[in-house]
Amino acid sequence: MDIDPPPGATFELKHQLMPIPYTVRLYSQSSLFAGKLHAILCRKWRSGRTKGRDLYDYIWYLAHSIPVDMKHLQERMVQTGHCKKGIALTEQALRDLLAKRFREIDYDQAKQDVFPYINDHSALDLWSAEFFQSITVEKLVFFPPKA
């Protein structure tokens, strides 16, 4: 749970009928994806490892064509000191940051992190810098889309 969320996120309202009628305000999928990208790029664990679950989620967002909320990602990166205020994070800059990060990851370790959560471990056989770079080039889309 983020107890100090940065500005710039987009939200959606969901209405439910059970157990009693209520409405809840949620981050949009695009803003959630921005948070996931921030985790991949900026989260530093003591061991320097990358959480395999972050990579697994990254694939899910790409597979579902969820666009990245660039404004919210930039605000998150400014908040944590990974981006300077007033300097725009461009789509190409994000692609370059991801390519660099994907070259640094220990994929064997990342796979071990998700083994307990998936039934078909062969789904992880493709995980490599080349795989993640390729799906990023082919599938990463942005919000708001260019006019």
Q: What is the mean pLDDT of residues 111-124?
A: 92
How many helices (H) and strands (E) are present in the chain, helices listed first? 6, 4
Any idea where the domains of the chain sit in the sequence? 11-143
How many other C-beta atoms can be found within 10 angstroms of the C-beta atom of residue 68? Answer: 21
pLDDT in tens, 10-67: 888 999 999 999 999 888 999 999 999 999 999 876 556 778 999 999 999 999 999 9
String of DSSP letters for 76-105: HHHHTTSS-TTS---HHHHHHHHHHHHHH-
Task: Out of 33-47, 79-93, 104-118, 120-134, pick the least confident.
Answer: 33-47
The predicted model scores a pTM of 0.88
What's the pLDDT band for 116 if we cut at 50, 70, 90? very high
